[in-house]
Structure 1
Amino acid sequence: MLFRERTDVGEAKEMFLAAIKGMERTELLPATSSIGRVLSTSILAPRNVPHYRRSAMDGFAVRSVDLIGASPTNPVMLQIADDVLEGTCAPVNTGDYVPDEADAVLMMEDTISIGDMIEIRAQLHPGKNVGAIGEDVRKNEIIFNKGHLLRPCDIAVLASLGISDVKVYAKPVVAIIPTGNDLLPLPGDDVPPPGKTLDINSLMIGEYVEKWGGIARYCDIVPEDKQLIEDAIRSNLDADMIVVSGGTSVGDKDYVPAVVEKLGKKLVHGVGLSPGKPTALGVADNVPILCMPGYPAAGLVALFAFGKPALKKAGTIPHTPEITIKATLSGKIMSREGYVSYARVILEGDIAHPLMTAGAGILSSIAKSHGFVIIPENVEGHEEGSIVDVVLIE
């Protein structure tokens, strides 16, 4: 397989992302349905939290002035009452309103109960164990900035402020176009005849699109026909991103890169990625187009390397670092010089067992593996016993 040029993975990714405009469409959603969504406006606190002085402990609301001089040798006695007055205290639980007359809360364990009186053997400074108004959140304070990815704990904060609806960016729509004369649609109840394959790539791509925050638009299988491929891409230019599976190599019927060039601009065809070299990247009508190899494992690597960051930028979804762990290799991993190699490994504790590192079509090795060891193009593999970073697939 010969390519006229091979673009560095980092350079290709930079070019691709530079061509992508972030999401502008927004929608109003109930806050409780917005986990994992991205705020399109900043949120200001409509009120203080707490909106009253609250007790931080179980104990007694007191006037600190009544405890001046209290010590083990000179204890102070206070009357338990409903109101806090000179010489009295009121029982409170954590979170309770602290009466205006009180300026401190004495912890239950620091008192000795004697009938309807309590004995106190230590002084207390004003404000002790009392949560001030607005201690958590001040009215008109910026709670979350525009572009914030909402988490469950954030939804709880919104609820505490009485905010029931939030304005978020719409999810990016990703059109998935499978190509190939050998493909058959799912579900495949029968064993495909020799030379035919089930279109598992569309399912795999769509599941990751949904997982990463997008909406998958599944398209019919397109035969290896230049005009039909062009029609399929053209009819999906209303999407926020297009992923074409198959037809990216250099064979006589690998039309996809040429079609992208005709419709817009082909940025890259052929990258230093192993597996995934035949990947092509382009843009048409401001819609980014990822053309990934039809071989499942190669396609998945291309999807991780280019599709995920592109979808995140298209959807204005904040970048989150990949989850990586340190592990010791139980065997040697080879890599191709000049290529960023994604080597699949199985984790057993802190040991990483290399799986098949060649074979772009071996999807089962992805399913069996827990993650990738990503080897830079200037590194000639890793020896047995090396400490490596494993990027978890999930």
Structure 2
Amino acid sequence: MGRIFKERTSVDEALRLFLESISPLRHTEEVPLEACAGRVLAETIVSGRDVPHYRRAAMDGYSVRASDTPGASPANPVLLQLSDSIEEGTTMWIHTGAALPEGADAVVMVEDTVTVGDMVEIRAQVYPGRNVGQVGEDIKREELIFKECHFLRPCDAAVLASLGLDRVKVFRKPVIAVIPTGDELISREITREVPPPGMVLETNGLMATLYVEKWRGVSRCTGIVPDRPESIRKAVETNKDADMILILGGTSVGKRDHAPEVVESMGKLLVHGVGIIPGKPTALGIIDRTPVVCLPGYPVAGLVALYFFVRPGIRKLGSIPEVPEIVLRKRLAAKISSKIGYVNFIRVVFEGDRVRPLMGAGAGVLSSVARADGYVLVPEHVEGYEEGQEVDVFLIE
């Protein structure tokens, strides 16, 4: 058969070529604050008001004029008269967050007072502004709150609500078409029984769809497409309105592997063959400005392609800021072997404060990912790691 692929592209170069072919979406929509978490802001937010817009008590206690408390201490308390207004020698009870009464400029916390009838012993000296939230202490009018492309979190929604907003403009989520291919596939909608030999339940579409949704995209999964170029081409044509197309399966060089050639015939094939194990048959292309990822049919290889290319592609399409991954530094409980010239994706499990590679976990053994706690990436120029060596462990999402 000769070489499997015309050439093998490094992971970094393949990703660079792919991302260069993607333009961020600029379509926007307004959503209520209740639905804004996890969305990307499509406008700059500048405050139109002070928050708080009044002076407020920072804690429960008594509002006072600070000038009435010089020298106050437990041994030398100052007596103030309870009143419904603040004047020289008077005080008023106040709850946390309540507006400071006219004439008061400080709050004595309740722990530093003793009430005796209609008199209050003040046992701590306070200065003007003590235990008082000032106007605009949280947010000032005309203050820049968030820039465009800010990734909105629930706490950000609360800030926007405090400004009187109830809706916010965000970028539209990328629509990702997921096209499972393969004559050997049986839809789970038809049966969940054990299929006949040579046939398998279609699960890659489910996995890809759920990851797309997790990574802030909108998934659109088609039915199973047969291993015929014209069928794959028709499925792609039908979904060219999507922002990215994923073709699952048919990426290698067998008689039933047609996905890369279809992409090449309809547009431009950027990469076919990536220096990563598993995931080597991954293909990347562009059709009428729509990025296309051809994922290997072996489930783990497909998962690797999702992680390395689909996830960053969705981020660029949606202008989603890069979020640092959680990386743990762990020692190996056993040696890791790898193939030089490829980035090796090694599944591992935690064993106390160490990690152990899963043995016998090939590209088709999807359960190995479910059993794994994380993965180790062995660089292409490194030939494995020894037992006891420290490695970076990435958690599996």
TM-score of the superposed pair, with normalisation by structure 2: 0.95
Q: SS at 1:157's partner residue?
A: helix
2:168 pairs with one of 159, 162, 166: 166
Instruction: Report % sequence identity.
Output: 55
Contact between 2:86 and 2:103, CA under 8 Å: does it hold in 1? yes
When residues 85 and 344 of structure 1 are mapped into structure 2, their CA distance, relative to the original with a 3 A threshold, is: same
Cα 1:104/1:357, change in 2 over 3 Å: farther
- Mean alpha-carbon deviation: is it higher for 109-118 or for 256-265? 109-118
Counterpart-to-counterpart distance in 2, 1:306 and 1:317: 15
CA distance in 2, matches of 1:71, 1:196: 84
Letter in 2 for 1:190: E
Query: Which residue in the other structure is 1:67 paired with?
Result: 69
Structure 1 position 104, deviation (Å): 0.8
- Please name the residue that 1:280 is paired with: 283
Contact 2:192/2:201 (8 A) holds in 1: no
Query: Could you list the per-position Cα deviations for residues 5-56 of structure 1 after superposition, in whole angstroms to 9, with x for gaps in the alignment?
Result: 1111011111111111111111111111121111111222232211110111
Q: Does 1:233 align with 2:236?
A: yes
Q: Match of 1:203, as an amino acid?
A: L
Match of 1:56 among 55, 58, 69: 58
2:99 to 97, 101, 107: 97
Tell me, in whole angstroms, the C-alpha distance in 2 between the residues paired with 1:358 and 1:335. 13
Q: Partner residue of 1:292?
A: 295
Question: Which one of the candidate residues 352, 370, 381 is aligned to 1:378?
Answer: 381
Look up the match of 1:337: 340
Other structure's SS at 1:325 match: strand
Deviation of 1:71 (Å): 5.1
On the 8 A contact 1:356/1:365 being kept in 2, the answer is no
Kindly report structure 1 stretches of 4+ aligned residues shifted beyond 4 Å. Answer: 71-74
- Matched with 1:78 is 80
Question: Quick one: which of 294, 303, 308 aligns to 1:305?
Answer: 308
Note if contact 2:57-2:131 (Cα within 8 Å) is conserved in structure 1: yes
Q: What is the RMSD of the two structures over their aligned residues, measured on CA atoms?
A: 1.6
From 318, 327, 331, give the equivalent of 2:330.
Answer: 327
1:36 to 38, 48, 51: 38
Letter in 2 for 1:373: V
Worse-superposed segment, 118-127 or 188-197:
118-127
**Residues 293, 310 of structure 2: 8 Å contact kept:** yes
Alignment gaps of 5+ in structure 1: none
Are 1:251 and 2:257 an aligned pair?
no
Q: Structure 2: which amino acid aligns with 1:370?
A: D
Instruction: Provide closer, same or farther for how the CA distance between residues 73 and 323 of structure 1 changes in structure 2, counting only shifts above 3 A.
Output: closer
Deviation at 1:159, TM superposition (A): 2.2
Please say if residues 344 and 357 of structure 1, whose CA atoms lie closer than 8 Å, have aligned partners that are also in contact. Answer: no
Q: Which residue of 2 aligns with 1:136?
A: 138
Q: TM-score, normalised by structure 1?
A: 0.96
Contact persistence 1:175–1:239 (CA under 8 A): yes
Residue by residue, what CA displacement relative to the aligned partner does 1:207-232 show, whole Å, maximum 9, x if unpaired?
11011111111112222212221121
Q: How many residues align?
A: 394
Structure 2 unmatched ranges of 5 or more: none
In 1: Cα distance, 2:328 partner to 2:69 partner: 55
Alpha carbons 1:53, 1:97 under 8 Å: kept? yes
**Matched residue type, 1:253:** R
Larger mean Cα displacement after TM superposition, 361-370 or 36-45: 36-45
